[in-house]
Chain A
Amino acid sequence: MLDITAAEIDGKLADAKSSLLPLRVDDLVYELNGVRIIDGVTLRVEPTGCTAIMGYNGAGKSVLVRLLHGLLTPSAGSCRWAGNLSASEISRRQSMVFQVPVLLRRSVEANIDYALSKRGFKAPERARKLEAILHETDLLKLRKRPASVLSSGERQRVALCRALAVEPELVFLDEPTASLDPAATAAIEQILLRAISAGRKLIMVSQSVGQVQRLARDVIFVHRGRIAEHTPIEEFLTTPRSAAARAFIAGELFEE
């Protein structure tokens, strides 16, 4: 304790003070051509662990995470981040893995390196980070391969690697294991668990109850553009409050 300098303590305090989270979302609306795709969402996202977003196809999960990530502009309502940070600083501390991963037409490692350089990592540190993250996401063997020839599981892994490489405080994941085989899914979940224990916040859209059970601490259930419920994971799995979530878990089609 004694050898910690005052500057270091100040640094730590500043870091803690300027955390992005909790995120407070207030009456968020996203309207397109007169249709309310997101229809009055209010929620609070806590600083640690993985928050899952579940819901039927077309419920508005992808639109919701794009709104939160700042890629779409809400028609009404607001997302308020903690810590009084500038807009560019807020976006610099986040990254996202899209439902359909978009990679540049270059090698795997060039894709990761691109993200690092655009986020302002400089030469010697950047190379070190590249090595570390390729190792961590098990991409060393694929590093020279053109991204265009990768299988969909490999593409997902590269997209995840890129999102984690930039050392975000918060990562949005839109169905990061959709269409992956069980082994690839397990590999990605391992990487996600490590990211959580490293202190990163995950907000993850998922269709898999099992996956949510393994990773998440709370579940936001989206139904027709609204939050049907936002409950801790144990409660969500055993006694979901909303009829929509109950039907979802039971595997039935929910009709309103």
Chain B
Amino acid sequence: MRVPHTIPCNTYQVYHPSDTTENLQGEVNRTLRSEDVTWDKNIPSTLVTLCVQSLVSNFKDKQALQLLPDEDRCLLLETLPIDLPLIITVPLLEDGIYWKRCSQIRWQSLNDVRDYEGSWKRLYLERHLQEYIENLAPEDFVHSEVESLVHLCSSYVKRLNILQLQAPQPPTFLGSNGYEWPTEIVSVDHINLEPFIKGLVCLEELHIMFGVRQCGMNFAWILFKFSAMDCLNIGMGLNSAKCMKTLRIHRSTLDDTLVTILLQHMVKNTTITRVDFSHCNIGDNGALAIGKLLIFQPTLKELVLCNNKIGAAGASGLASALTHRSSPLKLLDLRLNVIGNQGVTDLCSVLTNSEHLQALILVSCGFTEQAAIKIGHMLQQNTSLQALDVSNNYLGEVGGEALSLGIKDNTTLLKLDHRMTGITKECESSINMSLKHNIDRYKRKQRELAEATGNNDEE
């Protein structure tokens, strides 16, 4: 018996009798079994079913979907072959069992539809597009093909997580026995991402990793390089993107010049709220360019520059950008950037008056007690910061005391990570006490707020 997909599996399980029930005296010799789901195995399928089957086999030629009653449409969608061209299926079939089947057959893992707002269609199309981009060699790039595909997927794709981009094949390959690469500079342009970014009007998140995964023994640094042209294309694309919220270029050889080019071209975009350039090669100049972006980009709320090569100068630049009232930055991640005491001091001087920044991550930033004292002072003054991470910086006892002193007068800080900082236990406990105090207060406030809104609602 065919159980349509609209009936959840749990129903089937619920209706299935337990072993003890089945072995009851009255049950064993029972002839009428309404719960038997295999009763029609030997009965020839109905004409309706046959019709639907033939429709399925001829779906490429004739899409008689809207004419069918719901029940038969169900059956049709459950039996449609998944290798139908997208050009037929995307406009015709709505989100549902078909796309679920497609996704589950194509990929064995990571089919969590909750990450895609419960839409199997979006899941399928996003992952399909991702794979297409990841495996598209620059030589195979055909503009029309890409455009048609992008046009098909445009209204469904919201997130693109590109984990690799095929590098262009070198014009001359010296062979397997020679490990030498041609010395002349070869083009490292990847495929043009602009049509994708432009075409996908609903795109909200863009994650790009320049580089080739699983290159094996063909490893070469050149595989991980990318050109100013690539940055230019991305920037141009972002300029016209209407919904873009998150830009993430990570684990790439993004250096100062490239980031400058990229940022220059995406200045016009006014929708991006989160920029993530973690694990790149951005230096002080790049940081300054990002600082400029902060000034011109009033919507940017989160900036992640984790594991870059930003020094004190870059940090100072960022700090000076934060002074501008137009930048309502809420999160600043400078993990694994050795900005030193000078950089932290500059940041702290800014944060004393800042009203926006809520989270600051300064993990492994190479600062010491001096900067810790500044942080302590800053904390006394600041009223917006909620989370601060200073772990992996040697602060010592002095720094710890400074922090604990600073946090005692603070009322907003909810989290302070102070691991691997070499502060004393006393300081730790006092800091924890203060944090707890703040958390309690925060919760109370939240509850009151919720009650107030609840009362308002009741009223």
A and B are interacting partners? no
B interface residues, Cβ below 8 angstroms from A: none
